[in-house]
Amino acid sequence: MQGRKEFIPQLFYELSLDRLVPFDNFYRRVNHELDLHFLYKSTKKYYGTQGQESIDSVVFFKILLIGYLNNINSDRALIRFCSNCLDVRLFLGYDLNEELPWHSTISRTRAFFGEEVFLQLFQLVLKLCVNKGMVSDKRQAVDSAFIKANASMDSLVEKEVLNDASAFVNELEENSEFKACSEPSRTVTSTRKKLVEQHHNWKKEEFKLMPAARKAIQLDEDGNEIRPKFLSNHTHYSPTDPDAKISTKPGKPRQLNYAGQLAVDDKHHVITGACASTAGSKDSTIFSEIMDQTLSNFKQNDIQIGEVLADAGYSSGTSLQYCEDHNLDAWIPNFGQYKPEREGFIFNKKENRYECIQEGGNKAFLPFKRTLTDSKGYE
């Protein structure tokens, strides 16, 4: 006999949120393992002694954690998700009849706290992973990835064009003890602008007969069509987020991004270090920053890193010297034009210079002066 369920809502219920959530629920287990009460002390300096009470610091970081675990990038969508899930409400300590904080509160509080608070939370989670045997001391892999900025390509505006003389004056002021009042990131020299326009015109002419690279319309996380724009960081910037840079990868649309540097344990794929930089930064220039943080995180847990893995983007003399100074075995491939030896020359490590030993040569030597980076990012 076929059954049919009829729903008749009641006016009163005898229940509790705790009874509605299974005892083996994921968020119950997270709450049992993760003690965040240290955040009250860490964030106390950011608050005054008068005025309305803020959002609970522990609740704020729990909401962020939920967003990371469920890949929710929008604060509006995050609050809707938290409000609709019983287990999440129990995890946050909000009963069925309580309203969650506004999405704008999450956005403002995120910008309010300093980086050290987020780093302390990261180190606490890493310590839990170490205690569970999920982090080894043998090998760490380092790589970068784009992080989409909270700014649209439609927000880009053209930089103010300065003549070369004005740009030179600004450069002199920047190097003096009296700083210039202008913002270099929002200006471009007339020479640079002309070169960029010439390059763009050449690309338009060369690629106009080629078939379209995009086979389908690409949408962003909000469902809006991503329209490619032929723009440059040299000539345009976003007032919404001036630090975001136009960047792309093969097969991906041009967007405003940041670059995230990650160190990952190769055994259990646990993130052991993380830092951010502008999307235009070369990986090799950020290598020491991500490794400093990773080594510091390991030192707090009495672990010594043995080896480091990275791609050719991190290949530079500075990166390899860093690994040698910190007793790290580096597995970093050299770029194509690298030559390990030059016939007739030897490297004097003590003097940090190359010396000519070829018969009939003038016994000249070439000391290290400075590091140059070419257009491909090689040092």
State pLDDT tens for residues 23-32. Answer: 999 999 999 9
What's the rounded mean pLDDT across residues 101-125?
A: 88
Predicted local distance difference test score (pLDDT) of residue 168: 44
Length of the chain: 379
Give the separation between CA 165 and CA 133, rounded to whole angstroms. Answer: 61
Of 313, 148, 159, 160, the closest CA to residue 245 belongs to 148
Domain ranges of the chain: 17-113, 136-149+248-336, 157-210+223-237, 339-379
* pLDDT tops 80 at residue 167: no
CB 79 within 8 A of CB 101: yes
What's the rounded mean pLDDT across residues 130-151?
A: 88
* pLDDT tops 60 at residue 377: no
> Who's near 285: CB < 8 A, 6+ residues apart?
316, 318, 373
- Type of residue at 320: L
Predicted local distance difference test score (pLDDT) of residue 151: 83
Predicted local distance difference test score (pLDDT) of residue 176: 43
What's the CA dihedral at 303, 307, 308, 311 to 10 degrees?
-160
The pTM assigned to this predicted structure is 0.69
pLDDT band at 172 (very low <50, low <70, confident <90, very high): very low
* pLDDT tops 50 at residue 165: no
* pLDDT tops 90 at residue 264: yes
At the topology level, CATH places domain 136-149+248-336 in Nucleotidyltransferase; domain 5 (3.30.420)
CB 162 within 8 A of CB 188: yes
Predicted local distance difference test score (pLDDT) of residue 327: 92
pLDDT band at 334 (very low <50, low <70, confident <90, very high): confident
